[in-house]
Amino acid sequence: MIRNIVVGMSGGVDSAVSAHLLKERGHRVMGVFMRNWDEHDEAGRCSGEQDLKDAEWACQRLGIELRQVNYVKEYWTAVFSAFLDDYQQGLTPNPDILCNRHIKFDLFHRHALDKLGYDAVATGHYARNSLGNFLEHRADGGEARLLIPADTFKDQTFFLAGIPRQALQRTMFPLGDLAKNEVKLLARRIGLQRLAHKRESTGICFVGKRDFKSFIREYIASKSGQFVDIDSGAIVGSHEGIHQWTVGQRCRLGSFLQPYFVARKEASSNTIYVAAGHEHPALLSTCIHIEAPNWLCVQSQQRLASAGSLRCRFRFQHTKPLVDCCLRSCPDGGFEVLLDMPLRAITPGQYAVFYDDVACLGAGRIMSAHPLTCPHDQQSQVQTVSS
């Protein structure tokens, strides 16, 4: 029987209401606050200290114990160093997916189950578990699947797509059948008004409210390079480093008839190829190559292995609609995604996340996206124009 639950307390309304719901069901609940970023490095500009105070306040109101764990060193190694390395290589990483994979659903999960000896972990994510949001069907056996929540607008399965599959067997999602407005309403009713009115954190946690280019300059040195028109090969401007730009971003170069957007980044030459017009074919792709997926659904993994292809649905940004696709295994051991319709600015370093009608199947990191147009011999054109 699952009785003792550790809740990851973030200082927000979602984790606090999750803890309340567990207590209401008769579980023995302990809150644990994860410290993943060294506040002193950022001169007090991160909200971590306030989040801890809010978590302490919520646990006191709920009558549960709160402990802390420090994963600053592990976060730096597994998440932030990888984040910097990717940007230097011309990729655009997703630190939220890495944090869930390496910290929250690995280190923290093992800490709760093995070190603290509790039965399961609960989080405030908007997701559902096929074994029940409170693991009430776990005794029935079967594979735990990551299901789309009732509140599809707040759906956070995208960010959970990279977690270890076995972690789902011992993970509860108490908010899986609730809408965000219902969670806030419940928080007010149980005396957690302070959290119900707290502004939600958005964006990359360690960047905070700062301008991203200013932040990244603190860690990666500027390196001058050229903006090159992907059609003509003409140099149309200069930049201070490929790490400051991402695919699809507007470049705001002056004196041109159409605005330019980043189409591709070349780390070896520090060149950013740009396309004129928001819907330029060089920004659109239907064919993507990805790393080996992290599978959350064994049956889908087996179908792909036996048939060589899998029909499913795709997104690479959590706010975008799902698009039908075919996932195929390649002879070289890689994987290819063929989309039924072209999408704009598919970004290497981000994640291809796969779904069926009800569940998240898993995810693989995007290595390249083939544009609808492939200009001829770009490098030789650049040399000719610039010489």
Active-site positions read 99, 205
186, 17 Cβ separation under 8 angstroms: yes
Q: Smallest Cα–Cα separation from 227: which of 257, 261, 258, 255?
A: 261
- How far, in whole angstroms, is CA 337 from its chain's centroid? 19
Separation between Cα atoms, residue 294 and residue 198, nearest integer Å? 34
Quote the strand ranges of the chain, DSSP E: 4-8, 28-35, 65-70, 120-122, 128-129, 146-147, 171-172, 225-229, 235-239, 260-266, 271-276, 284-290, 294-295, 309-315, 323-329, 335-344, 351-355, 359-371
61, 86 Cβ separation under 8 angstroms: no
Separation between Cα atoms, residue 201 and residue 283, nearest integer Å? 30
Contacts of 127 (CB under 8 A, 6+ apart): 146, 147, 148, 149, 155, 156, 157, 160, 173, 176, 360
68, 8 Cβ separation under 8 angstroms: no
Structure tokens belonging to residue 107: 């280190």
Separation between Cα atoms, residue 84 and residue 90, nearest integer Å? 10
- Cα dihedral: 137, 141, 145, 151 (round 10): -10
Q: Smallest Cα–Cα separation from 347: which of 93, 98, 97?
A: 93
